[in-house]
Amino acid sequence: MNKGNVLVVDDNKSILSALEILLIPEFAVVTALSNPNLIPGELRKREYNMVVLDMNFSAGINTGNEGIFWLERIREINPEISVVMVTAYGDVELTVKALKAGATDFILKPWDNAKLLATLRSALQLNLSKMEVNQLKERQKGLKSEINREQKFIIGTSPQIISVLNLVRKVAKTDANVLITGENGTGKELIAQEIHRLSNRSEEVMVSVDMGAITETLFESELFGHVKGAFTDARENRPGKFEVADKGSLFLDEIGNLPFHLQAKLLAAIQNRQISRVGSNQAIPVDIRLICATNRNLEGMVQDGHFREDLLYRINTIQIEVPPLRERENDVLVLSDFFLQKYTAKYHKPGLKINDQAREKLARYHWPGNIRELQHTVEKAVILSEGKTLKPEDFFMKPPSAGLSRLSETTLEEMEKKMIEQAIRKHQGNLSAAAEQLGITRQTMYNKMKKFGL
């Protein structure tokens, strides 16, 4: 079969040698132990599918109690492992006792090679089936929270967002890795959800991971999972995000926040499309569509030595830049109406309207927090409203600085153009460094240079 790991335990070294010769051509790993006291350490060191266990280890004792004792210890360590008992003293009572204690099957000495191999093949298949069922159950647990997430939609009619959605439709049907860039609050996760919804994996789940929220100590456990006992709080087997996302999409948000020394582990999982749970050496294949997002300038981080260049190339087959809300023309009012409907229903305030003066105030504001800031602003206005009309004074936004408050919209554009020119000159044409200084992505820099004819 050439698969499956087998541990053979017998105090008779000649029997161990005979079993090794017989089993090595059939299984991937065959380990022989003559001392049963080494069993716990060996089971924790390597992942085994099956144990071939002698019933008696002390001279002159043939009750089988030693074998039963070690059978119970083995199943405490790994309840799913197949254990095949071997004894020269086979009677019905002893067989029933071993099977009740959890043994998979029973072999008598001297054995027939063909029958022994048939028994072990069946025991291996039983173990593999149990493992598959358990992985499916664990994955199902992980899926529940993902499936129950609120479905959200992309709202907007501006040419800028329509252009982004057209690119999303082209990319979605492929399995190409996608990097979504843009300022905080622009809706990068919504773009990721839309890519998944339009993809061939839409019947499966999209698993989202906030890379900025994962502590370094839990990075491997969260992404790759762990086995019971791998560390102090590992009380049960738990699949990681890669496993839960199998056959679906994996969305790694804020990828730029991943510490440099952990990036190699992520790169290996993406390249090999397989992971190993913490505490286990077993490789688990995963089939995912990778989508990443960041508000940081990854190219600048590569130049500064804070982000791996090979990881950037791996995640950046296609890049989608999400424009900030201030560049999306009339979408501020479209989104305002959407959030108004949402929160009047949520807070039971039907018939609430935004008057023209308030709409003009919303349209003029520069929204540094983008859609997220607009959403919170409308929600707060709805909660605090007393009448049926929302007026300008009902919307609380961050006041602009004293200098900016005296500038017209045209002057703001001129100022933005001037800042870009100064940054480019300062960094001697290095656009990545200029973008990093301005707090925007390189793609946004390109867009603005094109807009201003630079």
Do 5-131 and 160-323 have matching folds?
Answer: yes
pLDDT score for 12: 86
Specify the pTM.
Answer: 0.61
- pLDDT tens digits, 320-368: 999 999 998 789 999 999 999 999 999 999 999 999 999 999 999 999 9
Hey, which CATH number is domain 326-398, 1.10.8.60, 1.20.1730.10, 1.10.730.10, 3.10.150.10?
Answer: 1.10.8.60
pLDDT score for 406: 41
Fold of 5-131: Rossmann fold (3.40.50)
Q: CA 340 to CA 107: how far, in whole Å?
A: 73
pLDDT score for 1: 47
Q: Which residues of the chain have pLDDT under 70?
A: 1-2, 58-64, 89-92, 137-152, 400-413
Cβ atoms 440, 432 nearer than 8 A: no
| Long-range CB contacts (within 8 A, 24+) of 26-33 | 26/1, 26/2, 26/117, 26/120, 26/121, 27/1, 27/2, 27/3, 27/120, 27/124, 28/2, 28/3, 28/4, 29/4, 29/5, 30/5, 30/6, 31/5, 31/6, 31/7, 32/8, 33/7, 33/8, 33/9
pLDDT score for 228: 83
Per-domain boundaries in the chain: 5-131, 160-323, 326-398, 409-452
Fold of 160-323: Rossmann fold (3.40.50)
- Which one-letter DSSP state was computed for residue 197? H
pLDDT score for 7: 94
Cβ atoms 306, 260 nearer than 8 A: yes
Its sign, for the CA torsion 130, 5, 86, 108, is positive
pLDDT score for 92: 61
* Element holding 134 (H helix, E strand): helix 113-147
- pLDDT tens digits, 248-275: 999 999 999 999 999 999 999 999 999 9
CATH class (in words) of the domain with range 409-452? mainly alpha
